[in-house]
């Protein structure tokens, strides 16, 4: 138990800490103590989770969330269904928030460094605040700077007032937070993104992913198009139907041409690489032509940009062109010049006191700016960071701020949305909200930041500033219950409700809302937090509420397009630096779940890599995994080569987020930081920081993947081609519409497959149809499954899956899945119950995944336990640890398992994972463990249970009310969080349920359905614009290398005679 | 030869011990001493307090709940709503028991003072846990209370216990026996369970619509609840 | 020897064995003088067992994390040893029922090998599971939990098959030993040995009745053991055949495994016989006839196995099943091509040399071939397991197996464990079946030639012969 924790918090934990012990142990073995509350918190029933409404602050999107707490411990976060931004969903980063809260590396309390001493000494808040105040008081005028990042709402106001009050200058530094978060494109026919990864970091990823799924998913013959423009394809890019590769810095040209409505082919020459190959010119020509046609034929069009990765000297020009395309004005990119000026002053020694609450500038600023060096010149460096990071490591005073799950705050992500952040538990460590700290320092300085503010605490200040919006206690309670004040309801206005699946899915995901949001009153909030809850007093003198809308956009002169100038040697590779969906700009890089989660595109964990085109690699004699030094005029980083056709020839792409020098135990020595390679030049037009326009040299420093006892180096999980297995299928939109004429519920592929078998004289299994009515056949004890009983089943719509893997992290959080770490990951031993498979090709030929068009039809496949009706894993278990439940689940009894691992061998989907060791949860990460799920020990097999604990909870509730479980009442963690609502879960035996209706679709198929194990998971084929390749003979191994956009091919040719 | 055998037996012993649970004795002598000599016999027995007056979440939560110190103080130290507002020991009271509180040397009084001390220090009372089910087995109290089972059925005659002891073995076999209906229940209990058990109701429904019930009735004619492994182990 | 002796009738199998006395002498000599080489070998074996213990302790304490990604080496070795365990019963029981007299000299070795091989194999079901301390859950023991093992699981069938086979074969082995133990008892010099042998001999005196019962019992046990030879390895093969893993799910497995088992068993018999033959100079007992018969047996089984291989590939092609084809293609062209080809070469091709009489009769060549077969048969199981698990249905989880130090230690350790028992057996139990070899020797009769010579030898015979044998001769 680390010193920062309050005893009572510990006792609360004790109540449920039982879950943290392993599956062995005997019922009446050891003597334990039961320590009750001294004073029981109201509305907290021990053993029953309490939910609080709050707002996610992992990124500027500001998704509303419900925080699940058990006996005062936060155990899980979920999207708030009533919220206009999150729609009840969360992204991987949001799901990983509890790991930020319980991170073992967090500062346990304030600390400061005396002169001469290089070791920070932990101290009290009183002393720390006085020390800072003292430094501020003694500092000469104008030498105090408050560096803030992405403040809005009340904190923004307090910060400004505070800076004014103490005579400090305030500098804002929020690199990725300057993108529009209020675009509406759910009904658009065509999306064009200029390097804007709006499904990952750009704007408001969860909201945009939700809209994208409606725009791009299949909707009764309607399916929007999406064009990606940029030098390389990140996750968002490979979800596009068309990619126009552009030389970094030339995107603006295309945007302008598009806006001008002229002939696009004119720009072909400029956007092509310096030395274009035959394929490049052809590809760009075809691309431009198609884009032109689509743009002309589409009614509703939305453009995105500029993405962070394509912000060069023409960034502003691109933004203005995009605004013209959208016919709306957005704010220009964040002005970096004040920051540069600050750095100059720091270097010149003009800054005496620097208060830092910006996202780790020492790490995230371009290496060329040498912020870290300049920082050393500042005598008093005060960091408000809650983690030790590169910046706070150099700080003289560390006043750690609370995690957003343990503090009061508010946030204004976009006009008209005012969100509240409420603490769901007592601070884990001795930390405070930034507002609290500012008030404390002001108190020590005897200044009142805001005239008229009479209260004491930050909460008082918050309530005061909200007085205009939610003055009365009732209004405040309502705001807290909803998560803030916002006009539109989450799903109501936004859902287009285009499929049965969609309509039905909404109540499903919405179900937890009423029951759980209810207790989330401030009383409960406070009560759960502190046993002696002081009702926050409504302050008499209300402050003027913070600005309703963000400050009006800076006026920026119209920017003309200049041919981009590049730093570095002329024959170098264009460096593309892009933010990561897992790590954002690196601020979430220390969360074990996110490190363990394989990258959505590269499928690499615990490692950085540099993406190069196969031809580039061939030219430089590089192989995947080779270790290289990447040198720019500003620095050098060492990383490994990843061969990827989704990056243009002559470019190299690197992901931000890893390569930390001081960011705790998990990131130590992991990966490389590409920001070191950037110079920190700015776009003259807007003053925005240029992230492209650098050329780098590669020098090979070693063979990468030496296979000793186990694979070392860069290990890419999975394979890139489907080996003719047709496990992830697609169907052309035209063919699909023809099928729809015939009626629902036919699966052409499968049926033909069976007949093929018959023809080949092989054994003929039951016809495999996904029609739920067809299973189980009447009067059979098929697969130990009781007729007329509930059968839990799931439908997975591949047309909506964008591969973001939020479901995977949610699964980790809900089911106490341990993190195995880099060495075990390289042995392929990740314990993930749910994985997102990513296929570039369908044939058995690896080359197919290296072709230029390999990234045009990327298949994502969420793979989890299929809960077969007649499961191969069940009969082979000698002890009944794997067996079939009456309601159609494949039960897995951990404590009965002896670990023969036969079930895993016999599982065709390989979704069973084995506990090779007893994995540890570093204190206090174990506080997050879900008490409803057993923690497994070494030697035990585990797998997806369809969140059986939630099923039982729902059944218990239903039983106590003497009714049947309602459709949509059971929501597994993956279903709950999916931003694009790919999953539908429910009882497929009842034809009225959403899942049963969704399963009766012409897109339906079962992965490896020909094995006839009757899986409970029905996949809906991805829908492509052209007839896709679907494995088997129709995969042309001949067409290597070049190849045009799409070869129109017969989609439903069964893959029987695949191979030799 | 015999010597060898003896050694082998010795070597096997720990295995056997590890494999089997600590044998329990269902009698008072097995009940551990508690930090405060709290007599269930006095509270639940003599004073006829309902179990759920103190264990107040038994019908709402998987955990029955242990009374907070505040709850004890509520009766025994009247007018003491928060640790700070403690008036001193004169306030120590024993409802329904005449005159005991006045005698400062009475055993009850001494024990009462312990409670007062915990209250004053603002500490929880570290009760020794008696009923413990391993974490890999989930036992929701609420479901069992709500189908109308009496606390005593599993916890024994608590109202007669001075020191509470473990009445039932809490082993898997014991659970299974009851779920299969092999264990005797009192008439009203049996009736309540028959009418309220979701398992029985589902079975009825299935039989009504002529569904296959996998010989449940034949095998365990008066089964009360599901014996599906995953119902308790997940 | 005087020329007259040559007229004495000779056994067709052991022409160089002159008399019962010689048999006793040779058989007993195995028990007395071990020699340095023996001690060194035993030391090595015990050291390897130490390795096995260390590796297994590591598994128990830290979990299976340091073994390779899947079953490969552990189950390969398990099946390998079960297979070895087959020749013994075949030779001792089946050939006994078929009254093949040439088995007498070698069956004791074969049987010992069987028992110890099965003993070794029996380790691996324990070793390969994640929580060995719960192994007893696989046994059908009544428990307060009201749960039984899953009788549909092939792993459970394994438990029964292996334990049954172990019991029957060791009983068979022991019964066969009784008269010889009695002989050893009577010949024993040190009191300790005498006491132990006395205990083990169960008071055998060698009376008529005893012999009658003995032969009956032996016959029945032989009849009982015979079906096991077929059943056990069929069951083991079903470990794979009842799964749906491509490359395992094959109806041919049972016969194919049995044939393979006999092949490996016979090979191992020879691999063990030859050194013993050389070290203890048993040329008189292990004659070319024996080796020739064994070679023919080897040839037969190797051909059957070769046919099975061919059949597997044909079925893979003919089934038209994508997954099946891929796996079999992968075995010979994929990452495991080396294993695939060494299996085919060592098991199906090299033994074919035994068609040539010269090679059959050349002890060294034959020995070498059997070594190849042993390796090849290990690879056969490896090739069945590794590629199938590495390239199952789900492409995303294609993953090759990597051997670790724990796997290696367990593999080597299993050999140590086996040879430890085998060496101890040589030292403490008669490796030659005295009684049965005598069956195939011509009974002693009045000799030609100088009487004193005969008396002398007779005299020695009388004093060296154990009680019991006199009556037996008198019959």
Alpha-carbon gap, residue A858 to A728, rounded angstroms? 10
For A359-363, A559-563, B142-146, C405-409, which range has the lowest pLDDT when averaged over its residues? A559-563
Alpha-carbon gap, residue A230 to B2, rounded angstroms? 83
Chain A residues within 8 A of C390 when measuring between CB atoms: none
Other CB atoms within a 10 A radius of the CB of residue A343 amount to: 23
Strand partners, A567: A694
Chain A residues within 8 A of B209 when measuring between CB atoms: 788
Residue A429: is it exposed, middle or buried by C-beta count within 10 angstroms (0-12/13-18/19+)? buried
Structure tokens at A551: 């400050």
pLDDT on residue A497? 28
Helix axes C363-390, C322-333, angle to 10 degrees: 140
pLDDT on residue A542? 52
Contact A956 B143 (CB under 8 A): yes
* Residue A852 φ/ψ, nearest 5 degrees: -60, -35
The residue behind tokens 């500029």 is A306
Alpha-carbon gap, residue A712 to A627, rounded angstroms? 12
pLDDT on residue A534? 35
* Residue A112 φ/ψ, nearest 5 degrees: -140, 160
Alpha-carbon gap, residue A476 to A466, rounded angstroms? 8
Q: What is the dihedral of CA B47, B50, B54, B55, to 10 degrees?
A: 150
Collapse the DSSP code of A106 into the 3-class scheme (helix H, G, I; strand E, B; otherwise coil) and give the result: coil
Q: Mark which residues 226-285 of C lie under 8 Å from A by CB.
A: 242-245
Nearest partner of A356 among A384, A387, A388, A386, judged by Cα: A384
Please tell me which residue, B137 or A555, carries the higher pLDDT value.
B137
Contact, A1000 vs A227, CB < 8 A?
Answer: no
Alpha-carbon gap, residue A954 to A977, rounded angstroms? 18
Q: Give the mean model confidence (pLDDT) for residues C430-436.
A: 81
Structure tokens at C369: 């071939």
**Interchain contact C142–B (C-beta under 8 A):** no
Strand partners, A702: A627
Residue C53: is it exposed, middle or buried by C-beta count within 10 angstroms (0-12/13-18/19+)? middle
Collapse the DSSP code of A935 into the 3-class scheme (helix H, G, I; strand E, B; otherwise coil) and give the result: coil
pLDDT on residue A726? 86
Alpha-carbon gap, residue A610 to C187, rounded angstroms? 80
**Interchain contact C126–B (C-beta under 8 A):** no
pLDDT on residue B217? 61
Q: Which residues lie below 8 Å from residue A968, measured CB to CB, with a gap of 6+?
A: A504, A505, A507, A508, A509, A511, A986, A994
Q: What is the pLDDT of residues A180-233, one digit of tens each?
A: 998 999 999 999 999 999 999 999 999 999 999 999 998 777 899 999 999 999
Alpha-carbon gap, residue B173 to B192, rounded angstroms? 23
Nearest partner of A405 among A72, A150, A3, judged by Cα: A72
End-to-end distance of chain C based on CA atoms, in angstroms? 28
* Residue A836 φ/ψ, nearest 5 degrees: -100, 110
Search chain C and give the residue with CA nearest B19: C134
- Give DSSP secondary structure letters for A853-898: GGGGSPEEEEE-----TT-TTTTT-TTSSEEE-TTS-EEE-GGG--
Other CB atoms within a 10 A radius of the CB of residue B174 amount to: 16
Alpha-carbon gap, residue A707 to C399, rounded angstroms? 13
**Interchain contact B173–C (C-beta under 8 A):** yes
Q: Give the mean model confidence (pLDDT) for residues C423-447.
A: 78
Contact, A270 vs A280, CB < 8 A?
Answer: no
Q: What is the pLDDT of residues C206-247, one digit of tens each?
A: 899 999 999 999 999 999 888 888 888 899 999 999 999 999
pLDDT on residue A1042? 36
Where does the pLDDT of residue C190 fall: very low under 50, low under 70, confident under 90, or very high at 90 and above? confident
- Give DSSP secondary structure letters for A613-656: -HHHHHHTT--TT-EEEEEETTEEEEEEEEE-TTB-TTEEEEES
Residue B65: is it exposed, middle or buried by C-beta count within 10 angstroms (0-12/13-18/19+)? buried
Q: What is the pLDDT of residues C119-154, one digit of tens each?
A: 999 999 999 999 999 999 999 988 888 889 999 999
pLDDT on residue C32? 73
Please tell me which residue, A77 or A503, carries the higher pLDDT value.
A77
Residue A989: is it exposed, middle or buried by C-beta count within 10 angstroms (0-12/13-18/19+)? buried
pLDDT on residue C68? 87
Q: For residue B49, give the DSSP letter.
A: -
Search chain B and give the residue with CA nearest C143: B173
Where does the pLDDT of residue C289 fall: very low under 50, low under 70, confident under 90, or very high at 90 and above? confident
Search chain B and give the residue with CA nearest A887: B228
Where does the pLDDT of residue A518 fall: very low under 50, low under 70, confident under 90, or very high at 90 and above? very low
Where does the pLDDT of residue A332 fall: very low under 50, low under 70, confident under 90, or very high at 90 and above? confident
Contact C133 B15 (CB under 8 A): yes
Where does the pLDDT of residue B214 fall: very low under 50, low under 70, confident under 90, or very high at 90 and above? low
Per-residue pLDDT at C175 exceeds 60: yes
Alpha-carbon gap, residue A819 to A808, rounded angstroms? 12
Please tell me which residue, C455 or A405, carries the higher pLDDT value.
A405
Per-residue pLDDT at A781 exceeds 70: no
- Mean of the per-residue pLDDT values of chain C: 85
Please report, rounded to a whole number, the percentage of residues in chain A having pLDDT higher than 70.
83
Cα distance from A811 to chain C (closest Cα, Å)? Answer: 19
**Interchain contact A909–C (C-beta under 8 A):** yes
Peptide bond into A306 cis (omega under 30): yes
For A759-768, A904-913, C157-166, which range has the lowest pLDDT when averaged over its residues? A759-768
Q: Give the mean model confidence (pLDDT) for residues B202-226.
A: 75
Chain A residues within 8 A of C321 when measuring between CB atoms: 762
Chain A residues within 8 A of C129 when measuring between CB atoms: 898-901, 939
**Interchain contact B66–A (C-beta under 8 A):** yes
For A538-547, A981-990, B192-201, C207-216, which range has the lowest pLDDT when averaged over its residues? A538-547
Distance (Å) of CA A966 to CA A704, A942, A970: 54, 28, 8
End-to-end distance of chain B based on CA atoms, in angstroms? 47
Q: What is the pLDDT of residues C364-385, one digit of tens each?
A: 999 999 999 999 999 999 999 9
**Interchain contact B135–A (C-beta under 8 A):** yes
* Residue A203 φ/ψ, nearest 5 degrees: 70, -120
- Mean of the per-residue pLDDT values of chain A: 83
Q: Mark which residues 380-399 of C lie under 8 Å from A by CB.
A: 389, 392-399
Where does the pLDDT of residue A1060 fall: very low under 50, low under 70, confident under 90, or very high at 90 and above? very low
Q: What is the pLDDT of residues A804-823, one digit of tens each?
A: 999 999 999 999 999 999 99
| Host H or E run for residue C212 | helix C208-241
* Positive or negative torsion for Cα A363, A367, A372, A375: negative
Where does the pLDDT of residue A748 fall: very low under 50, low under 70, confident under 90, or very high at 90 and above? very low
* Residue C157 φ/ψ, nearest 5 degrees: -55, -40
Where does the pLDDT of residue C471 fall: very low under 50, low under 70, confident under 90, or very high at 90 and above? very low
Collapse the DSSP code of C196 into the 3-class scheme (helix H, G, I; strand E, B; otherwise coil) and give the result: helix
Nearest partner of A935 among A919, A952, A912, judged by Cα: A919
* Residue C46 φ/ψ, nearest 5 degrees: -65, -40
Distance (Å) of CA A125 to CA A444, A532, C205: 11, 21, 96
Q: What is the pLDDT of residues A426-474, one digit of tens each?
A: 999 999 999 999 999 999 999 988 888 888 899 999 999 998 888 889 9
Q: For residue B43, give the DSSP letter.
A: I
End-to-end distance of chain A based on CA atoms, in angstroms? 61
Other CB atoms within a 10 A radius of the CB of residue C215 amount to: 11
Largest Cα separation within chain A, whole Å, is 92
Per-residue pLDDT at A570 exceeds 50: yes
pLDDT on residue C277? 85
For A371-380, A471-480, B59-68, C466-475, which range has the lowest pLDDT when averaged over its residues? C466-475
Cα distance from A586 to chain C (closest Cα, Å)? Answer: 29
Q: Give the mean model confidence (pLDDT) for residues A954-974.
A: 91
Please tell me which residue, C92 or A411, carries the higher pLDDT value.
A411
Chain centre distance of CA C272: 9
List, edge to edge, every strand of the sheet that includes A397-398: A121-122, A111-112, A397-398, A380-383, A353-357, A144-148, A169-172
Cα distance from A837 to chain C (closest Cα, Å)? Answer: 7
Helix axes C20-32, C405-428, angle to 10 degrees: 130
Chain A residues within 8 A of B231 when measuring between CB atoms: 952
Q: Give the mean model confidence (pLDDT) for residues B71-83.
A: 76
Structure tokens at A233: 């394809």
Peptide bond into A924 cis (omega under 30): yes
Per-residue pLDDT at A29 exceeds 50: no
| Strand-pair category, A397-398 with A380-383 | parallel
Alpha-carbon gap, residue A229 to C336, rounded angstroms? 44
Where does the pLDDT of residue A706 fall: very low under 50, low under 70, confident under 90, or very high at 90 and above? low
Per-residue pLDDT at A540 exceeds 70: no
Per-residue pLDDT at B12 exceeds 90: no
pLDDT on residue B84? 61
Contact A34 B69 (CB under 8 A): no
Strand partners, A652: A575, A612
Please report how many Cα atoms fall inside a 13 Å half-sphere around the Cα of residue A802, on the Cβ side.
Answer: 33
Q: Give the mean model confidence (pLDDT) for residues C451-468.
A: 41
Q: What is the pLDDT of residues A138-176, one digit of tens each?
A: 999 889 999 998 888 899 999 999 999 999 999 998 888
Alpha-carbon gap, residue C168 to C155, rounded angstroms? 20
Chains that touch A (3 or more CB pairs under 8 A): B, C
Q: pTM for the full model? A: 0.88
**Interchain contact B4–C (C-beta under 8 A):** no
H helix and E strand count, chain C: 19, 0
What stretches of chain B show up as alpha helix (H) in DSSP? Answer: 2-19, 40, 51-54, 69-76, 107-121, 141-146, 151-155, 172-179, 187-196, 198-208, 216-219, 229-232
Q: Mark which residues 146-205 of B lie under 8 Å from A by CB.
A: 146, 166, 169-171, 196, 198, 201
* Positive or negative torsion for Cα C15, C16, C20, C24: negative
Contact A894 B233 (CB under 8 A): yes
Per-residue pLDDT at A504 exceeds 70: no
The residue behind tokens 């010119």 is A281
Chain B residues within 8 A of A40 when measuring between CB atoms: 68, 70-71
Contact A905 C62 (CB under 8 A): no
Q: Give the mean model confidence (pLDDT) for residues A726-735.
A: 89
Per-residue pLDDT at C306 exceeds 90: yes
Please tell me which residue, A112 or C473, carries the higher pLDDT value.
A112
Per-residue pLDDT at B90 exceeds 90: no
Contact, C216 vs C146, CB < 8 A?
Answer: no
Please report, rounded to a whole number, the percentage of residues in chain A having pLDDT higher than 90.
59
Q: Give the mean model confidence (pLDDT) for residues A596-602.
A: 96
Q: What is the dihedral of CA C350, C353, C355, C357, to 10 degrees?
A: -140
The residue behind tokens 């918090």 is A9
Per-residue pLDDT at A513 exceeds 50: no
Nearest partner of C108 among C425, C475, C463, judged by Cα: C425
Where does the pLDDT of residue A1002 fall: very low under 50, low under 70, confident under 90, or very high at 90 and above? confident
């Amino acid at each position: 138990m680390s010193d920062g924790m309050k005893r009572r918090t510990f006792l609360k934990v004790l109540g449920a800490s039982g879950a943290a012990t392993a599956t062995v142990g005997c019922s009446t073995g050891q003597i334990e103590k039961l320590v009750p509350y001294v004073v029981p918190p109201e509305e907290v029933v021990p053993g029953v989770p309490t939910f609080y409404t709050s707002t996610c602050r992992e990124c500027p999107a500001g998704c509303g969330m419900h925080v699940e707490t058990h006996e005062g411990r936060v155990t899980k976060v979920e999207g708030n269904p009533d919220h206009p931004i999150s729609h009840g969903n969360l992204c991987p980063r949001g799901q990983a928030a509890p790991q930020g809260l319980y991170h073992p590396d967090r500062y346990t309390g304030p600390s400061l460094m005396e002169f001469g001493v290089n070791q920070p000494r932990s101290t009290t808040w009183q002393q720390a605040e006085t020390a800072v105040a003292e430094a501020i008081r003694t500092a000469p005028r104008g030498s105090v700077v408050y560096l803030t990042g992405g403040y809005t709402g009340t904190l923004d106001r307090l910060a400004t007032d505070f800076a004014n009050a103490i005579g400090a200058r305030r500098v804002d530094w929020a690199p990725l937070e300057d993108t529009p978060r209020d675009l509406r494109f759910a009904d658009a026919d065509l999306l064009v993104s200029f390097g804007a990864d709006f499904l990952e970091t750009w704007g408001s990823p969860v909201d945009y992913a939700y809209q994208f799924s409606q725009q791009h998913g299949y909707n009764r013959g309607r399916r929007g198009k999406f064009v990606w423009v940029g030098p390389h394809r990140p996750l968002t890019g490979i979800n596009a139907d068309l990619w126009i590769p552009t030389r970094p810095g030339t995107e603006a040209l295309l945007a302008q041409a598009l806006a001008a409505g002229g002939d696009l082919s004119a720009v072909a020459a400029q956007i092509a690489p310096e030395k274009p190959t035959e394929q490049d010119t052809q590809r760009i020509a075809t691309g431009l032509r198609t884009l032109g046609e689509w743009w002309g034929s589409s009614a509703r069009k939305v453009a995105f940009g500029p993405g962070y990765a394509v912000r060069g000297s023409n960034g502003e020009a691109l933004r203005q062109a995009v605004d013209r395309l959208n016919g709306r004005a957005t704010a220009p990119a964040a002005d970096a010049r004040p920051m540069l000026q600050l750095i100059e002053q720091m270097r010149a020694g003009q800054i005496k006191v620097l208060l830092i609450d910006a996202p780790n500038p020492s790490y995230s600023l371009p290496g060329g700016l040498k912020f870290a060096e300049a920082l050393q010149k500042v005598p008093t460096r005060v960091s408000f960071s809650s983690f030790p990071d590169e910046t706070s490591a150099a700080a003289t005073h560390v006043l750690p701020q609370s995690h957003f799950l343990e503090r009061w705050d508010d946030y204004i992500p976009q006009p008209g949305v005012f969100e509240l952040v409420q603490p769901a538990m007592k601070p884990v460590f001795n930390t405070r909200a930034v507002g609290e700290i500012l008030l404390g320092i002001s108190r020590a300085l005897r200044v009142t930041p805001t005239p008229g503010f009479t209260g004491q605490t930050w909460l008082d200040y918050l309530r005061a500033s909200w007085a205009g919006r939610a003055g009365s206690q009732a209004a405040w309670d309502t705001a807290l219950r909803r998560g803030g004040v916002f006009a539109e309801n989450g799903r109501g206005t936004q859902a287009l409700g285009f499929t049965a699946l969609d309509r039905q899915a909404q109540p499903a995901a919405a179900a937890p809302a009423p029951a759980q949001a209810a207790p989330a009153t401030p009383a409960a909030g406070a009560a759960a937090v502190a046993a002696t809850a002081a009702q926050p007093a409504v302050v008499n003198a209300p402050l003027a509420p913070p600005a309703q809308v963000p400050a009006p956009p800076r006026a920026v002169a119209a920017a003309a397009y200049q041919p981009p100038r590049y730093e570095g040697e002329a024959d170098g590779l264009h460096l593309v630096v892009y933010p990561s969906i897992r790590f954002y700009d690196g601020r979430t890089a220390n969360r074990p779940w996110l490190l363990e989660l394989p990258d959505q595109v590269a499928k690499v964990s615990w490692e950085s890599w540099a993406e190069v085109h196969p031809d580039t690699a061939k030219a430089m004699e590089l192989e995947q995994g080779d270790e290289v030094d990447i040198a720019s005029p500003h620095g050098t980083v060492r990383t490994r080569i990843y061969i990827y056709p989704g990056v243009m020839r002559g470019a190299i792409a690197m992901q931000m987020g890893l390569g930390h020098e001081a960011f705790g135990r998990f990131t130590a020595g992991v990966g490389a930081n590409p920001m070191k390679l950037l110079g920190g030049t700015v776009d003259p037009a807007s003053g925005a920081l240029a992230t492209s326009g650098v050329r780098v040299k590669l020098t090979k420093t070693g063979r990468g993947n030496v296979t000793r006892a186990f694979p070392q180096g860069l290990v890419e999980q999975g394979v890139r081609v489907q080996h003719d297995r047709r496990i992830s299928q697609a169907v052309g939109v035209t063919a699909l519409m023809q099928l729809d004429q015939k009626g629902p519920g036919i699966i052409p592929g499968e049926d033909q497959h069976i007949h093929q078998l018959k023809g080949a004289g092989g054994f003929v299994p039951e016809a495999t149809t996904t029609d739920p009515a067809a299973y189980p056949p009447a009067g059979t004890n098929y697969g130990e499954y009781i007729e007329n009983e509930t059968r839990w089943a799931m439908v997975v719509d591949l047309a909506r899956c964008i591969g973001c893997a939020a479901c995977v992290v949610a699964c980790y959080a809900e089911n106490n899945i341990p993190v195995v770490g880099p060495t075990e990951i390289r042995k392929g031993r990740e314990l993930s119950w749910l994985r997102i498979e990513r296929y570039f090709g369908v044939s058995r030929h690896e080359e197919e995944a290296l072709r230029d068009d390999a990234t045009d039809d990327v298949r994502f496949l969420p793979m989890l336990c299929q809960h077969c009706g007649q499961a191969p894993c069940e009969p082979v278990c000698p002890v009944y640890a794997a067996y079939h439940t009456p309601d159609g689940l494949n039960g897995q009894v951990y404590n009965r398992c002896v670990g023969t691992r036969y079930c895993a061998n016999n599982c065709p989907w390989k979704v069973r994972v084995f506990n090779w060791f007893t994995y540890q949860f570093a204190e206090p990460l174990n506080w997050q463990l879900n008490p409803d799920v057993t923690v497994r020990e070494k030697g035990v097999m585990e797998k997806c249970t369809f969140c059986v604990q939630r099923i039982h909870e729902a059944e218990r509730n239903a039983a106590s009310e003497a009714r049947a479980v309602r459709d949509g009442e059971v929501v597994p963690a993956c279903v709950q969080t999916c931003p694009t609502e790919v999953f539908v879960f429910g009882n497929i035996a009842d034809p009225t349920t959403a899942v049963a209706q969704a399963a009766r679709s012409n897109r339906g198929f079962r992965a490896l359905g020909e094995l006839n194990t009757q899986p409970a998971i029905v996949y809906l084929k991805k829908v492509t614009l052209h007839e896709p390749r679907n494995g088997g003979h129709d995969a042309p191994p001949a067409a290597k290398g070049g190849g045009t956009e799409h070869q129109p091919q017969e989609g439903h040719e069964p893959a029987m005679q695949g191979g030799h | 030869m015999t010597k060898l055998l003896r050694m082998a037996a010795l070597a096997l012993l720990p295995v056997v011990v590890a494999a089997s649970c600590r044998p329990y004795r269902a009698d008072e002598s097995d009940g551990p001493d508690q930090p405060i000599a709290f007599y269930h016999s006095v509270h639940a027995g003599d004073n006829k307090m309902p179990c759920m007056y103190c264990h107040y979440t038994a019908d709402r939560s998987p955990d029955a709940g242990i009374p907070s110190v505040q709850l004890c103080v509520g009766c025994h130290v009247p007018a003491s709503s928060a640790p700070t507002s403690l008036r001193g020991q004169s306030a120590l009271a024993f409802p329904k028991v005449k005159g005991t509180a006045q005698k400062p040397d009475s055993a009850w009084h001494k024990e009462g003072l312990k409670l007062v001390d915990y209250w004053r220090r603002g500490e929880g009372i570290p009760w020794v846990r008696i009923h413990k089910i391993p974490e890999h087995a989930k036992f929701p109290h609420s479901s069992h209370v709500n189908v109308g089972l009496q606390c005593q059925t599993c916890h024994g005659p608590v109202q007669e216990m001075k020191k509470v002891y473990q009445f039932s073995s809490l082993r898997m076999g014991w659970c299974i026996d009851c779920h299969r209906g092999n264990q005797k229940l009192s008439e009203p209990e049996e009736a309540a369970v028959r009418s309220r058990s979701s398992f029985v109701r589902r079975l009825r429904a299935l039989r009504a619509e002529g569904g296959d019930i996998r010989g449940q009735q034949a095998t365990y004619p008066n089964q009360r609840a599901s014996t599906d492994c995953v119902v308790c182990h997940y | 020897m005087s020329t007259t002796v040559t007229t004495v009738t000779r056994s067709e199998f052991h022409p160089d064995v002159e008399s019962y006395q010689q048999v006793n002498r040779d058989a007993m000599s195995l028990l007395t003088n071990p020699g340095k080489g023996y001690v060194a070998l035993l030391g090595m074996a015990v050291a390897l067992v130490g390795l096995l213990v260390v590796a297994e302790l590591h598994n128990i304490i830290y979990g299976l994390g340091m073994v390779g990604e899947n079953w490969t080496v552990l189950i390969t070795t398990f099946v390998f040893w079960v297979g070895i365990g087959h020749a013994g019963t075949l030779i001792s029981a089946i050939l006994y029922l078929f009254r093949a007299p040439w088995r007498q000299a070698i069956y004791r070795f074969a049987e010992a090998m069987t028992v110890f091989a099965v003993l070794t194999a029996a380790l691996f079901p324990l070793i390969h599971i994640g929580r060995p301390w719960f192994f007893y859950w696989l046994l059908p023991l009544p428990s307060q939990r009201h749960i039984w093992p899953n009788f549909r699981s092939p792993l459970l069938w394994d438990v029964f098959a292996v334990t049954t086979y172990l019991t029957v074969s060791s009983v068979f082995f022991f019964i066969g030993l009784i008269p010889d133990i009695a002989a050893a008892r009577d010949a024993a010099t040190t009191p300790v040995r005498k006491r132990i042998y006395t205990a083990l001999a169960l008071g055998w005196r060698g009376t008529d009745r005893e012999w009658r019962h003995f032969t009956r019992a032996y016959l029945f046990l032989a009849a009982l053991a015979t079906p096991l030879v077929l059943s056990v390895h069929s069951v083991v093969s079903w470990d794979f055949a009842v799964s749906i893993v491509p490359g395992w799910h094959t109806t041919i497995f049972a016969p194919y495994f049995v044939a393979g088992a006999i092949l490996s068993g016979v090979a191992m018999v020879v691999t063990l016989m030859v050194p013993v033959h050389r070290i203890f100079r048993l040329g008189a007992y292990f004659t070319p006839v024996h080796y020739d018969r064994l070679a023919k047996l080897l040839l037969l089984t190797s051909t059957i196995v070769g046919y099975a291989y061919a059949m597997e590939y044909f079925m893979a092609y003919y089934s038209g099943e994508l997954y099946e084809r891929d796996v079999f293609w992968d075995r010979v062209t994929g990452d495991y091509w080396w294993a695939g080809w060494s299996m085919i070469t060592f098991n199906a091709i090299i033994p074919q040399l035994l068609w040539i009489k010269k090679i059959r009769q050349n002890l060294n060549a034959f020995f070498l071939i059997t070594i190849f077969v042993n390796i090849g048969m290990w690879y056969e199981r490896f090739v069945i397991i590794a590629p199938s698990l590495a390239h199952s249905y789900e492409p995303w989880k294609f993953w090759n197996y990597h051997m670790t130090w724990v796997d290696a230690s367990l593999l080597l350790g299993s050999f140590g464990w086996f040879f430890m028992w085998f060496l101890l057996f040589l030292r403490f139990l008669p490796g030659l079946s005295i009684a049965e070899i005598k069956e195939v020797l011509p009974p002693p009769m009045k000799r030609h030639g100088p009487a004193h010579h005969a008396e002398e030898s007779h005299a020695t015979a009388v004093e060296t012969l154990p009680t019991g044998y006199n009556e037996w001769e008198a019959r």
